[in-house]
Amino acid sequence: MMDLRAGLIGLGMMGRHHARVLREIPGVTFVAAADEAGDLHGVTGGAPVVRNVEELIDLGIDMAVVAVPTAFHEEVGLRLAEAGVHTLIEKPIAADSAGGNRLVDAFEAKGLVGAVGHIERYNPALQSLRSRIENGDLGEVHQIATRRQGPFPARIADVGVIKDLGTHDFDATAWLAQSHYATIYAQTALKSGRPHEDLVVATGRLHNQIITSHLVNWLSPLKERLTIVTGENGSFVADTISADLTYFENGTTATDWESVAAFRGVSEGSMTRFALTKREPLRVEHEAFRDAILGTRSEIVTLREGLATLRVAESAIESSRTGSAITL
């Protein structure tokens, strides 16, 4: 079988990583990239760099990765759909849900594979965590809490912390719980002099009644990426920076101390750190996208899922503006 012919639009921070993986992944030939500024960092491996998506399409591509600023996702994605190109769009899917809707409709109308780059789903720690939740290791899940904070990334210019970072946690939470958000309430702050929020604290409830909480900012020198899932049997802590997964088990030791025994809570039990196979999430994401195009598996973040995540983000922004919880 011939390799899929792949193109890349955008050679910024994320585009450079996509270029590297597209050059390495089996079953894919990296045809060219499109960027008006050219290959400033020398990442295309000698593949040609054209000026725009039209010139890229003219080279004859089967699949494309869109890594341009969020404001251009819709325009570039719609042109690729029109040309019949399977497309992976970096998150968020679009600048707003109206644009996301148009992308969903365009790709579905053509029967094309459309995916959104919510890369956290491919992190080994979260993939193992989801399997263990599905397996019933936690019993009933009560709460999913996330913390995602660190310094401001100079690559971001057109969105706030909710759409840039919060969407990672909204998507991963719904995916881990296999349930959509029912309500969300958020409070934000603008501390860095930019026009968009740079701090958010959000709480929510999923349709399956799991409670969620999310602390997200780019104001901290402490870089943290944690997902904590608590259920009736204990708590899992996933660190997606180190790709580590740890299980804190509820204690099972009986007590004859009456006042303690009467408390219907939990106690500390054993702690287990799992040894995981740690593959690069971006490479796993690309392999899943390639295989979805070939029809061999479908472990992608679909455009519809990306749209649902964007709607949660928009609802969080609306909640912070109105001071009220939003029902999705």
- Percent of the chain beyond pLDDT 90? 87
Q: Has residue 155 got a pLDDT over 90?
A: no
Neighbours of 27 (CB within 10 A): 15
**pLDDT (0 to 100) of residue 261:** 55
What is the band of 113 on the pLDDT scale with cuts at 50, 70, 90?
A: very high
Coil vs helix vs strand at 3: coil
User: What is residue 195's predicted lDDT score, i.e. its pLDDT?
Assistant: 87
CB 271 within 8 A of CB 250: no
* pLDDT for the residue 263: 55
Which pLDDT does position 193 carry in this prediction? 84
Residues in the chain: 328
User: Is 47 within 8 Å of 32 (Cβ atoms)?
Assistant: yes
Burial class (CB in 10 A: 0-12, 13-18, 19+), 254: exposed
For residue 2, is pLDDT > 90? no
- Return the minimum-mean-pLDDT range out of 33-47, 53-67, 248-262, 300-314: 248-262
Report pTM: 0.93
Q: What is the rounded (10 degree) CA torsion for 100, 101, 103, 107?
A: 140
Give the lowest-confidence range in 27-36, 100-109, 111-120, 260-269. Answer: 260-269
Whole-number Å distance between alpha carbons of 305 and 102: 14
Mean per-residue pLDDT for 111-136?
98
Average pLDDT, the chain: 94
pLDDT for res 194? 84
pLDDT, residue 298, reads 82
Residue 41: the pLDDT is 87
Question: Which of helix, strand or coil describes residue 232?
Answer: coil
